[in-house]
Amino acid sequence: MFHKPAEQSGKDPAAAFKTTLGVWMFIGYAIVYAGFIGINLVSPLAMETEVFMGLNLAVTYGFGLIVSALILAVIYNQLCNNKEAELATSSQGKAE
C-alpha cells in the first residue's frame, strides 16, 4: 500500500514552467510573510487587536501563514501536474 514503481527520470518539458511558478509563488508568500514581520517590527501592539472570532491579529495572521502555505503547496502541485499532463499530451500528439 502506498508504494509504487519509481518514476523514470528524463527530460521534463514542464521544468521551466514549474521553476517560474515556484519562484512567483515564493515571492507572493514572502510578501505576505514580510507583512507579518513588518507589523511586529513597526507596531507590535497592533498584534493584540481582535480581528476574527475573538482571536487577535497575531494568532490569526500567524496561523493564516501556516494554512496558506499548505493551500499554496496543494495549488502548486495541481498546477504542475496539469502542465505536465498538458505537455505530455501535446508531445504525444506531435509524435503521432
Partner 1 sequence: MEVMPVVLFAAFVGLVLGLSFYFAGQAKSAAGYYAAGGTIHWFVNGIAFAGDYLSAASFLGICGMIATCGYDGFLYSIGYLAGWIVALFVVAEPMKRLGKYTFTDALDAKFNSKGIQLAAAISTIIVSLFYLIPQMVGAGVQVTVYVAGLVPGNRILRPGLKFKVEGT
Q: Which of residues 46-75 bind partner 1 (CB under 8 A)?
A: 47, 58, 62, 65-66, 69, 72-73
Shortest distance in whole angstroms from residue 6 CB to partner 1: 4
Distance CA 77, CA 41 (A): 33
Beta-ladder partners of 55: 52
Contacts of 68 (CB under 8 A, 6+ apart): 29, 32
Distance CA 37, CA 1 (A): 43
The smaller minimum CB distance to partner 1, of residues 73 and 88, is found at 73
Q: Which residues bind partner 1 (CB under 8 A)?
A: 2-7, 9, 12, 15, 18-19, 22-23, 25-26, 29-30, 33, 36, 40, 44, 47, 58, 62, 65-66, 69, 72-73, 76
